[in-house]
Amino acid sequence: MRTPTITLSIILAAVFMATAVQKLVGERKTRERMDHLGVSAGLTRVIGVLELAAVVGLLVGLFWPLAGLAAAVGLVPLMIGAAGYHLRARDPFAVTVMPIAFGLAAAALAVLHVLQR
């Protein structure tokens, strides 16, 4: 496996592990941000579970590339949805662009997985 794929997988896994845990434990600041976006507590937990599943897929993908590909592809619509919620809440550009950046990074990782097949 090539260095860019490994590096991007680990970075994305670390970022989404942190955000998933915050959502799953109901961390106060995360709850406030999700309330601001209009995301219910139940949907917040679902998103946390999906992010945690992506983390597992990204890490398993280091050994089984198909899992990494599936996790990366799954993160893209999740991040599109996140950007949509930020746009709807009229959040500043710097806030809205973060899920877009992570969605693009996940898309790039998916492409890397495909190219290495």
Residue type (1 letter), 6: I
Assigned token pair, 107: 């898309």
Q: Distance (Å, rounded) from C-alpha 34 to C-alpha 23?
A: 9
pLDDT for res 29: 95
Mean pLDDT of 59-85: 97
**Residue found under tokens 């973060």:** 98
pLDDT in tens, 14-67: 999 999 999 999 999 999 999 999 999 999 999 999 999 999 999 999 999 999
Q: Distance (Å, rounded) from C-alpha 91 to C-alpha 1?
A: 38
